[in-house]
Amino acid sequence: MTDLISAGGRRRLQEEFDHLWTVERPKVVQGVADAAAEGDRSENAEYIYGKKRLREIDRKLKHLGRRLKVLKVAAPPANPTVVSFGCWVAYEDEEGDERCYQLVGPDEFDVGEGKISIDSPVGKALLGRRVDDEVTIRRPAGELTVTIVGISARRPG
């Protein structure tokens, strides 16, 4: 797994960590304490659910804490000529359909936002390529051949 992340991606992970630690966890801990004070814990749904939710929060905090320690913030090159981390890449497929994605780290990918991981099959296929390069992307649905039509440091449009 790649340890690169954008500054915005790192900030979002830190905000999630801080929210879980300072807001969510204390609220759940208080709920568990209140439920425990009611007596029989074996049939107390609030207590059982609270303990389960607390384990989920602690697991997420542990994961985020480990990732935040090793992540390295990287910015895209100012005028990229080669596809690299942080770049926006536009490509055209065999039918003439154009797509545009930003290559980001695995901790911040969001296909709906146009952000794909550099560790994904598409990301790996595009890395190191230039405008007009023909690229074969291996997918579960079969191979797709695309042509890179643009590379930029900022989202086009």
- pLDDT(39) > 80: no
Please report the pLDDT score of residue 124 as a whole number.
Answer: 94
Domains of the chain in sequence order: 4-73 (1.10.287.180), 88-152 (3.10.50.30)
Task: Say if residues 35 and 44 touch (Cβ distance below 8 Å).
Answer: yes
Task: Output the DSSP codes for 61-99.
Answer: HHHHHHHHHH-EE----SS-SS--TT-EEEEEETTS-EE
Please report the pLDDT score of residue 91 as a whole number.
Answer: 96
Tens of pLDDT, residue by residue over 57-92, are 999 999 999 999 999 999 888 889 999 999 999 999
Look up the pTM and report it.
Answer: 0.81
Q: What are phi and psi of 93, to 5 degrees?
A: -90, -175
Tens of pLDDT, residue by residue over 98-156, are 999 999 999 999 999 999 999 999 999 999 999 999 999 988 888 999 999 999 998 88
> Quick one: average pLDDT of 30-53?
86
Q: Tell me the pLDDT band of 26, cut-offs 50, 70 and 90.
A: very high
Residues 6+ apart with CB under 8 A from 51: 32
> Quick one: average pLDDT of 94-98?
91
Bridging pattern class, strands 4-5 and 72-73: parallel
Residue 13 to residue 20: CA distance in whole angstroms = 11
Q: Tell me the pLDDT band of 36, cut-offs 50, 70 and 90.
A: confident
Bridging pattern class, strands 98-104 and 4-5: unpaired
Bridging pattern class, strands 142-152 and 88-93: antiparallel
Please report the pLDDT score of residue 77 as a whole number.
Answer: 83
Identify the three-state secondary structure at position 129: coil
Its sign, for the CA torsion 2, 6, 117, 93, is negative
- pLDDT(157) > 80: no
